[in-house]
Amino acid sequence: MYDKGIQLYNDGVNLYCKNSFKEAIDAFNKCYNAGFYKMQSVYAISLCQQQLGIDITIPNEFEDKTGEVGTVFIGSNLVCKLINDGYKAVLVSESNVLTIVDGSTYDIRIVSFLGSFMLNAWRKEQSKTIPLTDYDLNPNPTHADQFVISLVQDATSLPLYPLPEEGLPSSLE
């Protein structure tokens, strides 16, 4: 069942993708005002405002949380992209994505730092965690490693992806 929050958010995404930025702002505002996907909606509104060349405004409740709003949006959008591409993925905290690619579990972390975002990724293997970009510890990255590395490099510039019909998953199961 497609719930109201998902529909409102995805309406905004569809309008954004059609370059209807004013209408997308209205849709994301409806989603935000209804209490759904608030951080994602606030960030998406700011993307629309940027496209329109107008001042970016953030609701008072998030003025001191702009980094957190950004990490939640980037993580959520990355999860939506992965699910759209047929992978399992979950946003486990405002700055942490878990995904399974070619049978391996990856931990992607997003950090807001001085107005920008840094992303890193690790492959989980039994009791150890291998940093993907440390070539001393991961001298022969797998195809899946390379895919995740490219995702991490592009995560902040991905297009907006719609939420899955079921919303953001709560686990990888």
- What residue numbers bound the domain in which 19 lies? 4-57
119 in a domain, yes or no? Answer: yes
Distance, in Å, from the CA atom of 106 to the CA atom of 11, rounded to the nearest integer, reads 30
69 in a domain, yes or no? Answer: no
Whose CA is closest to 68, among 91, 86, 89? 91
Q: Looking at the 3D structure of the chain, how many domains does it have?
A: 2
pLDDT band at 143 (very low <50, low <70, confident <90, very high): very high
48 in a domain, yes or no? Answer: yes
75 in a domain, yes or no? Answer: no
Report, as an integer, the average pLDDT of 115-119.
Answer: 87
**Does the predicted model carry a pTM greater than 0.85?**
yes
| Residues 94, 152 within the same domain | yes
* Strand-pair category, 104-113 with 128-131: unpaired
Distance, in Å, from the CA atom of 116 to the CA atom of 98, rounded to the nearest integer, reads 21
Convert the pLDDT of each residue in 37-71 to its tens digit: 999 999 999 999 999 999 999 999 988 888 899 99
* Residue 4 predicted with pLDDT over 70: yes
**Residue that wins the pLDDT comparison between 31 and 127:** 31
* Residue 2 predicted with pLDDT over 60: no
* Residue 139 predicted with pLDDT over 90: no
* Residue 173 predicted with pLDDT over 80: no
Distance, in Å, from the CA atom of 121 to the CA atom of 144, rounded to the nearest integer, reads 12
Report, as an integer, the average pLDDT of 109-126.
Answer: 89
Diameter of the chain by CA atoms?
A: 49
Report, as an integer, the average pLDDT of 78-104.
Answer: 94
Distance, in Å, from the CA atom of 2 to the CA atom of 138, rounded to the nearest integer, reads 42
| Residues 147, 99 within the same domain | yes
Secondary structure (DSSP) of the chain: ---HHHHHHHHHHHHHHTT-HHHHHHHHHHHHHTTSSHHHHHHHHHHHHHHHT------GGGGGGHHHHHHHHHHHHHHHHHHHTT-EEEEEETTEEEEEETTEEEEEEEEEETTEEEEEEEEEETTEEEETT-TTT-SS--HHHHHHHHHHHHGGGPPP-PPPTT-S-SS--
Give the whole-number percent of the chain exceeding pLDDT 90: 75
Instruction: Give the chain's mean pLDDT.
Output: 92
115 in a domain, yes or no? Answer: yes
41 in a domain, yes or no? Answer: yes
Report, as an integer, the average pLDDT of 114-142.
Answer: 88
- The confidence score (pLDDT) of residue 1 equals 38
CA 29 to chain centre: 19
Report, as an integer, the average pLDDT of 106-121.
Answer: 90
128 in a domain, yes or no? Answer: yes
